[in-house]
Structure 1
């Protein structure tokens, strides 16, 4: 089968930052599906792994990355019960396994959902990773309850990005929250409003901007940009007994002591935790993806696709990574095979 990968971590402008190669079609294990991939999308995790996983070394076998895909089930493992050959599926994958930048992939059925019926393959391909991340951070980490928390305020730092775009929709339309999103350019401000943000504030002077919007403090904060860069700002803006959650990680220790006087909770979210550790509730990602598919088909959520590239090629992956690395992308990028 055809695949795109890399043997060493290079700048995306370098000729061999991605290479096309042939490799054997994988064989599904007991709980695995073999999926013929029709479309993928790219996420910031892709370029971060490409930049860091083969530094100062040359891999013997190219590494295949990619964590979003839509395709058709071609074969199933002996213990598979959730899907059959011929089913259309979508998923975000497992960071410990080979990725989706290939014609075929094996994937554990417990982290796969049915493709939304109303969306094209490219519209569907951009959903899984961001929807799982946004759903988990809202409902599994902060544990927002639509009945008791309806109308409360949430600040989403990084509203126009892939995760931010779907988080705005979920927070507004499913949780019933008052959504404040950050953006600074006219096009990103418009995008956040299109996703359902009630207020759009400027991240360059966030405290002043939030307060100008009429909020002295907010109940919840989601950080999709940089935990430490915004830490003091989040500490200032969060309400006593509020909750802050982040997906960005931190190269330096986070000063949790600053939350003590307000009795504020803090959570990390990593979409790969369930698959990486084979948690008892791993099948929840299957359930979430199916719920999200229903919400998309019912028109309560919409795709965050903003650009489609045609063809599984090294050049298209380079272009997508270049756009992501610029930090200026709005919504999501798909590659249709």
Structure 2
């Protein structure tokens, strides 16, 4: 089968930052499905791992990355029970295994969902990683209750990004929250409004911007951009007994003491935790993906696809990585095979 990978962590414009090669088509066993991939999407995690996985070495075998994928089940392992050959599926993959930048992939059925029926292949490919991350942030980490938490405020940092775009919709439509998103460019501000944000503020002056809209403090903060840069400000603007969730990293230890007086909860969110550690609740990702598919099919939420590149090629993969590295993309970029 054809795959695209890399042997060294090189700048994306380097001729060998990605290379196409042939490798053996895998055979499923246990909980695995063999999926023939039809489309993938590219996320910030893709270029971050490309930049770090082979920084000081040259790999003997090219590393295949990529996580979001949509495809058709071609074969199943001997302990599978959720899918059959011919089913269309979508998923966000597993950091510990070979990725989706290939024609075929093995994936544990417990972290796979049925593809949304009313979405095209490209529209569906935009969803899994960001959908899971946003859903887990709100309903697994904060544990938002749509009835008792109705009207509470959530500040979403980087509202126009892939995860932020899903979080706006889920927080508003499912969580019943008052949604405040950050964006600075005219097109990204409008994007956040179109997705349902009640307020869109400039991320450069958070405190002042929040005061302008009458919400000087918020119940929840979802950091999808820069934990270290916003840490002190978040401690100021979070309400007593509030909750902060972050998917980003800090280069230095965080001062948790500044949250103590307010009894604020801080949680990390990593969508890969369940698959990396084979947690007892690993199957919850199957449930979440099916839940999100139902919401998409019902029109309650919508795809965040903005750019489709036609063809599984080195050039298209490089182009998608360049777009992610720019930090200016809105929504999601998909490569259709």
- Bucket of the pairwise TM-score, normalised by the shorter protein: over 0.9
- TM-score normalized with structure 1 length: 1.00
2:140 is aligned to 140
2:331 corresponds in structure 1 to 331
Find the counterpart in structure 2 of residue 291 from structure 1: 291
SS of the aligned residue for 2:209 comes to helix
CA distance in structure 2 between the aligned counterparts of 1:15 and 1:255, rounded to whole angstroms:
43
- Does residue 1:222 correspond to 2:222, yes or no? yes
Which residue of 2 is the match for residue 34 of structure 1? Answer: 34
State how far apart, in whole Å, the 2-side matches of 1:222 and 1:89 are.
28
Mapping of residues 192-203 of structure 1, within 5 Å: 192-203=192-203
Aligned to 1:130: 130
Unaligned runs of 5+ in 2: none
Q: Which residue of 2 aligns with 1:269?
A: 269
Q: CA RMSD, aligned part only? A: 0.5
Question: What is the TM-score with the length of structure 2 in the denominator?
Answer: 1.00
Shift in Å at residue 29 of structure 1? Answer: 2.0
Cα deviations across residues 132-186 of structure 1 (Å, max 9, x unaligned)? 0000010000111111101000000000000000000000000000000000000
For residues 29 and 9 of structure 1, the distance between their equivalents in structure 2, rounded to whole angstroms, comes to 32
1:161-310 aligned within 5 A: 161-310=161-310
Quote the Cα distance in structure 1 between the aligned partners of 2:139 and 2:247: 14
Counterpart secondary structure, 1:242: strand
Question: 1:96 maps to what in 2?
Answer: 96
- How many pairs does the alignment contain? 337
Match of 1:11 in 2: 11
Q: Which position in structure 2 is the counterpart of 1:160?
A: 160
Aligned partners of 1:293 and 1:216: how far apart in 2? 35
5+ residue gaps in structure 1? Answer: none
Q: Give the whole-Å Cα distance in 2 for the aligned partners of 1:162 and 1:16.
A: 27
Equivalences for residues 22-101 of structure 1 within 5 A: 22-101=22-101
